[in-house]
Amino acid sequence: MQRQVALIKQSLFDQGYLDEQFVELEELQDDANPNFVEEVATLYFKDSARLISNIEQALERGSFDFNRLDNYMHQFKGSSTSIGASKVKTECTMFREYCRVGNAEGCLRTFKQLKKEHATLRKKLEQYFQLARQAGPKETARRPK
Amino acid sequence: MALGDLSSSSTSELHVLAVDDSIVDRKVIERLLRISACKVTTVESGTRALQYLGLDGDKGSSGLKDLKVNLIVTDYSMPGLTGYELLKKIKESSAFREIPVVIMSSENIQPRIEQCMTEGAEDFLLKPVKLADVKRLKELIMRGGEAEQEKTSNLISSPKRILQNNIFFFFIIFFIITIIVIFIV
């Protein structure tokens, strides 16, 4: 089972869903705080759901307030960076670029992609954490090769 | 490390006030600081930070903190009061201007960094902040505190210090004697 956990984690890195920052967070775990990364991830998904909803409302209004949108995306990018959510971070950067040049179409397209990446990451991490909890604490704290 | 009671705070553990509007980043910085054996208080805005320190002008709020703050770590981009504005307010206050303030930012903007350092920031960290950053920072702050104590203790002859120097000599002599004895035997 632990091998399965390791494989899932490796694939998350190989496919670019997660980056080095995720490993940095895992290294902050110890016996007293064995679920630190899962706790951070939970906070992240709760917070980013709020941001997604705010952005959606802002986009639905039709009048593109690029400043406001960029503001939301700055927050989104920040927390995505902190957890190592690589693909999501990339979409955030692209969205901000479109905001900068005032390209509404680009923003909408990128936002759709961002939501997709976000949902995929959420599912994969939920699966990973569930398996990791079942497998026991040893595997989660190790660096992928 | 405690060379007598020259400072009013415990010299072994730093109390850090961490300011960040991101709940994810607050959790991470708190963990990084706790691992580095610091006491941590987190707040979500510059305004709350000023309230905590008792600097918000509200005469009744000076008693919020129960521990002296040794270091303030703050995000730069925050709604309301930015990290830079918070830094300015702290440096303007006679009570708190000596507290080192470190700015964190996800954006590597040179003019921004210079602006903060000019205003008196101790350091500028790029996010995501790593454990190595925090450890280095802690060492810097502790050394700064020791340097302060060194400065003042050089003016006052501390009996503890003289004793420490003597103990050092005793160890050297003991070591040499041990080596000689080993050679003889």
Answer whether B108 touches A (CB < 8 Å).
Answer: no
Measured distance CA(A116)–CA(A112) in Å, rounded: 6
CATH class given for the domain over B15-153 = alpha beta
Among B3, B28, B4, B30, smallest CA distance to B16 is for B30
Measured distance CA(A86)–CA(A142) in Å, rounded: 20
Instruction: State the amino acid at position B98 in one-letter form.
Output: E
Across the strands, what pairs with B19? B43, B74
Angstrom distances, CA of residue A138 to CA of A21, A25, A76: 20, 15, 31
Confidence category of residue A76, pLDDT binned at 50, 70, 90: very high
Answer whether B27 touches A (CB < 8 Å).
Answer: yes
Each residue's pLDDT tens digit, A90-121? 999 999 999 999 999 999 999 999 999 999 99
3-state secondary structure of B124: strand
Each residue's pLDDT tens digit, B92-146? 999 999 999 999 999 999 999 999 999 999 999 999 999 999 999 999 888 876 6
Cβ of A78 within 8 Å of Cβ of B22? The answer is yes
Residue with tokens 């990791």: A132
- Can you give the pTM of this predicted structure? 0.81
Each residue's pLDDT tens digit, A17-46? 999 999 999 999 999 999 999 999 999 999
- Please calculate the CA angle A141-A144-A145 and round it to the nearest 5 degrees: 140
Alpha helices in chain B (DSSP H): 23-35, 46-53, 83-92, 110-119, 131-155, 159-184
Measured distance CA(B169)–CA(A29) in Å, rounded: 43
3-state secondary structure of A40: helix
Measured distance CA(B73)–CA(B118) in Å, rounded: 17
Interface TM-score (ipTM) > 0.95 = no
Question: Strand order in B39-43's β-sheet?
Answer: B39-43, B15-19, B71-75, B101-105, B123-126
Q: How close, in Å, is residue A86 to chain B by CA atoms? A: 13
Q: Give the pLDDT of residue B156.
A: 56
Nearest beta carbon to residue A75 from set B22, B127, B130:
B22
Cβ of A82 within 8 Å of Cβ of B35? The answer is no
Q: Which two tokens stand for residue A66?
A: 């690029």
Mutate to test the interface with A, among B24, B33, B40, B109 (most CBs of A within 10 A): B24
Element (H, E) at A51: helix A36-60
Q: Give the pLDDT of residue A117.
A: 96
Measured distance CA(A30)–CA(A34) in Å, rounded: 5
Omega prior to A144 cis, within 30 of 0: no
**Which CATH number describes the domain made up of A1-14+34-135?**
1.20.120.160
Q: What is the DSSP string of B27-59?
A: HHHHHHHHHTT-EEEEESSHHHHHHHHT-SS-G
Domain range summary for chain A, segments of one domain joined by +: 1-14+34-135
Answer whether B109 touches A (CB < 8 Å).
Answer: no
Cβ of B106 within 8 Å of Cβ of A28? The answer is no
